Protein backbone atom coordinates (compact mmCIF):
# COMPACT_ATOMS: atom_id res chain seq x y z
CA UNK A 1 0.00 0.00 0.00
CA UNK A 2 2.84 2.39 0.78
CA UNK A 3 4.24 1.95 -2.72
CA UNK A 4 0.88 2.91 -4.25
CA UNK A 5 0.58 6.01 -2.06
CA UNK A 6 4.12 7.19 -2.82
CA UNK A 7 3.55 6.57 -6.52
CA UNK A 8 0.22 8.45 -6.46
CA UNK A 9 1.73 11.57 -4.88
CA UNK A 10 4.69 11.63 -7.27
CA UNK A 11 7.27 10.37 -4.77
CA UNK A 12 8.03 7.04 -6.40
CA UNK A 13 11.77 7.54 -5.85
CA UNK A 14 11.03 7.00 -2.15
CA UNK A 15 9.97 3.41 -2.87
CA UNK A 16 13.49 2.40 -3.83
CA UNK A 17 15.12 4.65 -1.23
CA UNK A 18 13.06 3.11 1.58
CA UNK A 19 13.39 -0.40 0.06
CA UNK A 20 9.64 -0.92 0.27
CA UNK A 21 8.29 -4.30 -0.87
CA UNK A 22 5.49 -4.67 -3.36
CA UNK A 23 4.36 -2.94 -6.51
CA UNK A 24 2.26 0.15 -6.97
CA UNK A 25 -1.34 -0.70 -7.78
CA UNK A 26 -1.45 2.23 -10.22
CA UNK A 27 0.72 0.41 -12.72
CA UNK A 28 -0.91 -2.96 -12.15
CA UNK A 29 -4.42 -1.61 -12.77
CA UNK A 30 -3.65 -0.80 -16.40
CA UNK A 31 -1.94 -4.12 -17.20
CA UNK A 32 -3.42 -7.48 -18.07
CA UNK A 33 -3.68 -9.99 -15.22
CA UNK A 34 -0.40 -11.71 -14.44
CA UNK A 35 0.06 -14.99 -12.64
CA UNK A 36 1.55 -14.03 -9.30
CA UNK A 37 0.91 -14.84 -5.68
CA UNK A 38 -0.90 -12.21 -3.61
CA UNK A 39 -0.90 -12.23 0.20
CA UNK A 40 -3.45 -10.80 2.60
CA UNK A 41 -3.60 -11.24 6.37
CA UNK A 42 -6.14 -10.48 9.10
CA UNK A 43 -5.71 -10.37 12.87
CA UNK A 44 -8.47 -9.54 15.32
CA UNK A 45 -8.47 -9.46 19.10
CA UNK A 46 -10.41 -12.70 18.96
CA UNK A 47 -8.87 -16.08 18.16
CA UNK A 48 -9.39 -15.95 14.40
CA UNK A 49 -6.24 -14.97 12.50
CA UNK A 50 -5.95 -15.92 8.86
CA UNK A 51 -3.77 -15.46 5.82
CA UNK A 52 -4.95 -15.60 2.22
CA UNK A 53 -2.80 -16.44 -0.78
CA UNK A 54 -4.19 -16.13 -4.24
CA UNK A 55 -3.00 -16.65 -7.78
CA UNK A 56 -4.97 -16.53 -11.02
CA UNK A 57 -6.57 -19.91 -10.42
CA UNK A 58 -6.67 -20.66 -6.69
CA UNK A 59 -7.43 -18.97 -3.40
CA UNK A 60 -5.88 -20.54 -0.28
CA UNK A 61 -6.85 -19.45 3.22
CA UNK A 62 -4.62 -20.53 6.10
CA UNK A 63 -6.14 -20.22 9.57
CA UNK A 64 -4.10 -20.32 12.76
CA UNK A 65 -5.54 -23.32 14.68
CA UNK A 66 -8.19 -24.27 12.10
CA UNK A 67 -8.34 -26.28 8.86
CA UNK A 68 -7.36 -24.43 5.66
CA UNK A 69 -9.66 -23.53 2.80
CA UNK A 70 -8.89 -23.85 -0.90
CA UNK A 71 -11.02 -22.70 -3.81
CA UNK A 72 -10.58 -23.23 -7.54
CA UNK A 73 -11.61 -19.81 -8.83
CA UNK A 74 -11.84 -20.93 -12.47
CA UNK A 75 -14.26 -23.78 -11.77
CA UNK A 76 -15.92 -22.18 -8.74
CA UNK A 77 -15.75 -18.35 -8.97
CA UNK A 78 -18.33 -17.93 -6.20
CA UNK A 79 -16.24 -20.07 -3.80
CA UNK A 80 -19.06 -22.50 -3.04
CA UNK A 81 -16.91 -25.65 -2.93
CA UNK A 82 -14.20 -25.70 -0.27
CA UNK A 83 -11.36 -28.02 -1.29
CA UNK A 84 -9.43 -27.25 1.89
CA UNK A 85 -9.58 -30.75 3.32
CA UNK A 86 -10.14 -32.75 0.11
CA UNK A 87 -7.46 -35.42 -0.28
CA UNK A 88 -7.51 -34.80 -4.05
CA UNK A 89 -6.08 -31.31 -3.44
CA UNK A 90 -3.47 -32.09 -0.78
CA UNK A 91 -0.59 -31.27 -3.14
CA UNK A 92 -2.06 -27.86 -4.06
CA UNK A 93 -2.56 -27.02 -0.37
CA UNK A 94 1.02 -28.03 0.38
CA UNK A 95 2.31 -25.79 -2.42
CA UNK A 96 0.35 -22.82 -1.10
CA UNK A 97 1.38 -23.41 2.50
CA UNK A 98 5.03 -23.61 1.41
CA UNK A 99 4.61 -20.28 -0.44
CA UNK A 100 3.07 -18.74 2.68
CA UNK A 101 5.86 -19.98 4.95
CA UNK A 102 8.48 -18.70 2.50
CA UNK A 103 7.02 -15.22 3.05
CA UNK A 104 6.35 -15.36 6.80
CA UNK A 105 5.78 -17.56 9.84
CA UNK A 106 1.99 -17.34 10.29
CA UNK A 107 1.90 -18.40 13.94
CA UNK A 108 4.75 -16.06 14.96
CA UNK A 109 3.31 -13.09 13.07
CA UNK A 110 -0.11 -13.66 14.66
CA UNK A 111 1.47 -13.92 18.11
CA UNK A 112 3.27 -10.61 17.53
CA UNK A 113 0.10 -8.96 16.21
CA UNK A 114 -1.92 -10.12 19.23
CA UNK A 115 0.77 -8.83 21.61
CA UNK A 116 0.74 -5.46 19.86
CA UNK A 117 -3.06 -5.36 20.03
CA UNK A 118 -2.97 -6.18 23.75
CA UNK A 119 -0.53 -3.32 24.39
CA UNK A 120 -2.70 -0.89 22.44
CA UNK A 121 -5.91 -2.12 24.10
CA UNK A 122 -4.28 -1.80 27.53
CA UNK A 123 -3.52 1.83 26.75
CA UNK A 124 -7.26 2.40 26.21
CA UNK A 125 -8.53 0.48 29.25
CA UNK A 126 -8.33 -3.13 28.07
CA UNK A 127 -10.31 -5.37 25.75
CA UNK A 128 -13.38 -5.51 28.02
CA UNK A 129 -13.75 -1.73 27.88
CA UNK A 130 -13.22 -1.72 24.13
CA UNK A 131 -15.85 -4.40 23.61
CA UNK A 132 -18.36 -2.38 25.64
CA UNK A 133 -17.53 0.74 23.67
CA UNK A 134 -17.28 -0.65 20.15
CA UNK A 135 -19.13 -3.33 18.24
CA UNK A 136 -16.42 -3.75 15.56
CA UNK A 137 -13.74 -6.44 15.84
CA UNK A 138 -10.67 -4.27 15.55
CA UNK A 139 -8.15 -2.52 17.75
CA UNK A 140 -8.90 1.22 17.87
CA UNK A 141 -6.60 3.63 16.09
CA UNK A 142 -4.20 5.49 18.41
CA UNK A 143 -6.30 8.68 18.47
CA UNK A 144 -9.59 7.03 19.47
CA UNK A 145 -10.33 7.64 23.12
CA UNK A 146 -7.22 9.75 23.71
CA UNK A 147 -7.77 12.61 26.15
- Sheet strand arrangement including 66-72: 38-42, 50-54, 58-63, 66-72
Q: Over range 134-146, report the average pLDDT.
A: 56
pLDDT tens readout for residues 10-19: 877 777 788 7
DSSP string of 39-52, one letter each residue: EEEE--SSS--EEE
pTM above 0.85, yes or no: no
Q: Which CATH class is domain 35-147?
A: alpha beta
- Taking the domains of the chain in order of start, what are their residue ranges? 1-31, 35-147
Which is more confidently placed, 52 or 23?
52
Sign for the pseudo-dihedral over CA of 73, 76, 79, 82? negative
Cα–Cα distance, 75 to 73 (Å, whole number): 6
The closest alpha carbon to 120, from 140, 135, 145, belongs to: 140
- Summarised one tens digit per residue, pLDDT across range 80-136 is 999 999 999 999 999 999 999 999 999 999 999 888 888 888 887 887 877 777 665
Amino acid sequence: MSTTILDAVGASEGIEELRLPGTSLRGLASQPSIDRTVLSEFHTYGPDAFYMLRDLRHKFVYYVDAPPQLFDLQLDPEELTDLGTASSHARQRAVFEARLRAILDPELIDEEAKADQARMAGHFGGFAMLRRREKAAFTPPPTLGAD
